[in-house]
Amino acid sequence: MFAVLATLASVLVLEKLLVMVPAPGYKARVTRSETLLAAEEQRNKGYQEYYEGVRAQEKRYQALLSRWEQEDERFEKILSRWEEQQKAYQTYLDSLKHSQ
């Protein structure tokens, strides 16, 4: 009976020790996982830099668009004023023709 208990105890101890000892490919899997994680972090950093570049470019385009819209508005005002002046001048010329 003692032999059976001793065998059982030694099997349990041996089983616990085997669980504590990593599998043969454990270190290789850990190294591979760490490498993959580092590569993913690097890729994410690249994506983030690209995204920030796109956002900065979008801001530049928005600023240009805003400036062009302001310039168009200014041109329209100048054109409108010029047309008013031309009409007034034409009216003046017409009044000179009729007074003669």
Backbone angles phi, psi at 25, to 5 degrees: -95, 10
The residue type at 46: G
pLDDT in the model for residue 20: 67
> Where exactly are the structural domains of the chain?
2-99
Whether residue 26 has pLDDT greater than 90: no
The residue type at 62: Q
Angle at CA of residue 94, ends 100 and 80, nearest 5°: 160
Average pLDDT over residues 35-64: 97
pTM of the entire predicted model: 0.53
pLDDT in the model for residue 34: 94
